[in-house]
Amino acid sequence: DIDYILWTGDLTPHDIWNQTRESHLAIIRESVNQMAETFPGIPIFPALGNHESTPVNSFAPPSAPEQYSISWLYDDLQKQWRRWLPDGVSNDVRRGAFYSVLVKPKFRIISVNMNYCNNKNWWLMINSTDPVNELQWLIQQLQKAEINEEKVHIIGHIPPGSDDCLKVWSRNYYKIINR
């Protein structure tokens, strides 16, 4: 029996010069529908990959001009992911495609958007430390989990500390989880 599924992104093809917002959203919607049909009744906890944006690896911070906003993706993810996630995480998904869910008593899954550490996300040249305040949010989530004596699994697409993750972001992440 499957208790739950962790789904860590990169749903769209990697043909990076043949992509549109519309095609990406259609692929994401179809993938979500297929997962829901294939695994009915099984909770699925998604994380965002770096290929879901278009252009690939382009995850603008909220301060970016509207024409570069990534809200088109985050708003749709919130609609698609809500079949598995509680309403209480909608604002976090729409703000930065991250969330925290109590799976069962004393067990929590936190999904982080690792695209804000991705060294191929050129938007990070503006602010490479915490452009959407995700790490501050993570601190709060981990403090709540500690107070409630919850075990936590953190999921994401790009591993912190890998060559693809900015060193400053990885260093701050590890300071948070290894305090």
Residue spans per domain, the chain = 5-178
For residue 164, report the phi and psi dihedrals to the nearest 5 degrees: -85, -10
What are 147's two structure tokens?
Answer: 């107070």
pTM: 0.95
Type of residue numbered 21: R
In 3D, which of 91, 55, 57 has the Cα closest to residue 74? 91
pLDDT in tens, 105-154: 999 999 999 999 999 999 999 888 899 999 999 999 999 999 999 999 99
First to last CA, the chain: 36
Identify the sign of the CA torsion 116, 118, 120, 125: positive
Whether 125 and 83 have beta carbons less than 8 Å apart is answered as no
What was the pLDDT predicted at 66? 94
Residue 161 backbone phi and psi in degrees, to 5: 90, -10
Q: Is 151 exposed, middle or buried (0-12, 13-18, 19+ CB in 10 A)?
A: exposed
Residue 6: predicted pLDDT: 98
pLDDT at 112: 98
Please list the ranges in the chain whose pLDDT falls under 50: none
In single-letter form, the type of residue at position 105 comes to P
**What would the DSSP string read from start to end of the chain?**
----EEE----S-S-TTS--HHHHHHHHHHHHHHHHHHSTT--EEE---TTSSSSTT----TTS-GGG-SHHHHHHHHHHHTTTS-GGGHHHHHHHS-EEEEEETTEEEEE--GGGTBTT-GGGGT-SS-TTSHHHHHHHHHHHHHHTT-EEEEE-SS-TTSTTB-HHHHHHHHHHHT-
The CATH superfamily of 5-178 is Metallo-dependent phosphatases (3.60.21.10)
Q: How far apart are CA 109 and CA 151, in angstroms?
A: 9
pLDDT at 16: 75
